[in-house]
Structure 1
Amino acid sequence: MLINTKCFGEIDLEENKIIHFADGLMGFEDYKKFTILYDIEDEKKSAISWLQCIEEPGLALPVINPLHVREDYNPTIEDELLKPLGDVTSENIVVLLVVTVPNDVKKTTANLKAPIIINSDTRQGCQIIVENQDYSVRYCIFEENREKKGERTC
């Protein structure tokens, strides 16, 4: 199937690459179908990929594996919230964080508080609020900025 994207142009996408979000994403509840696109340069995959909406070409969210941001990332999630995804295991779970990239790239942040959870077997996804009180919505990715401020956010 051909999909249009604002940043990547027209892409031929296989049906098995579509991820369904029954409740949409926070702030984008009307959009249910997404895929993950990778911006590959010089045969190297970037740490940041794109959660591209199938229904709206202009909607693409930069996302990152949380372990690239914080090696000790271990969100507390109620099992009940994951039930709509099917049987989630350590082998089929994909966790992504939404990234915000401002004009000053060194102030890039990741949302540790509301990760995107995907079951790669069922291709069902959701975005949830984790229970961890110490996880910020705007966690600074660049360590030197956290150290300067003596905190975890930009």
Structure 2
Amino acid sequence: MIVASTRFGKLDIPQEEIYRFVEPLFGFPELLEYAVIHQESEDIFEYLQAVGEPDLTFIVVDPFTLFPEYEFDLNDVWKKRLSIDSAEDIEVKVILTVRSQSDITANLKAPIIFNTRNKNAVQIVLDNSPYSIQHSLLGGEK
């Protein structure tokens, strides 16, 4: 499948590598399919490219890499919706917002859960959690 991206040009992504969101990302109700774009193998940052919307690319990262103390319990409802059979099927990413080199935040309050086996995904909100939607990569809540 050819996925057009303003940032990366035309990408040839196998259909079986496209993630389908069981609920849309917050603020983007009409977009349900995304490709995860990996750059250099050493780079911890990845990109979530909307299929069918070339201008919509999110920078995402595994939150446990940057915030080792980050933790939450995935509700059984979401496990069922994503058809998760095993913890090995799960990847977690959070969206980064880059305002400048010194102002980069991670949305730890609303992680994205990926089922790597069946390519289902969802963004959830961690109710009653200590996490912020603007947690600074340079330290602390914004």
1:99 and 2:96 are equivalent in the alignment:
yes
Q: 1:89 Cα deviation (Å)?
A: 2.1
The residue number in structure 2 matching 1:65 is 62
What secondary structure is seen at the aligned counterpart in 2 of 1:31?
coil
Superposition RMSD in Å: 1.3
Cα distance in 2, alignment partners of residues 107 and 77 from structure 1: 29
What secondary structure is seen at the aligned counterpart in 1 of 2:126?
coil
CA contact (8 A) 1:113 1:132 kept: no
Q: Which has the higher helix share?
A: 1
CA contact (8 A) 1:115 1:129 kept: yes
The Cα offsets for residues 77-131 of structure 1, whole Å up to 9 and x where unpaired, read as: 32112311102422110100000000x2221000000000011011000000013
Q: Which has the larger radius of gyration?
A: 1
Segments of structure 2 that go 5 or more residues without pairing to the other structure are none
- TM-score, normalization by structure 1: 0.86
1:127 and 2:115 are equivalent in the alignment:
no
Cα distance in 2, alignment partners of residues 90 and 82 from structure 1: 10
The residue number in structure 1 matching 2:106 is 110
The Cα offsets for residues 61-89 of structure 1, whole Å up to 9 and x where unpaired, read as: 10000112210111133211231110242
* Count of aligned positions: 142
**Aligned ranges for residues 3-22 of structure 1 at < 5 Å?**
3-22=3-22
Structure 1 stretches of 4+ moved >4 Å: none
Fraction of identical pairs, as percent:
28
**Aligned ranges for residues 23-62 of structure 1 at < 5 Å?**
23-40=23-40, 44-62=41-59
What secondary structure is seen at the aligned counterpart in 1 of 2:81?
helix
Match of 2:136 among 124, 137, 140: 140
What secondary structure is seen at the aligned counterpart in 1 of 2:42?
strand
CA contact (8 A) 1:114 1:129 kept: yes
Cα distance in 2, alignment partners of residues 46 and 120 from structure 1: 20
Cα distance in 2, alignment partners of residues 14 and 132 from structure 1: 38
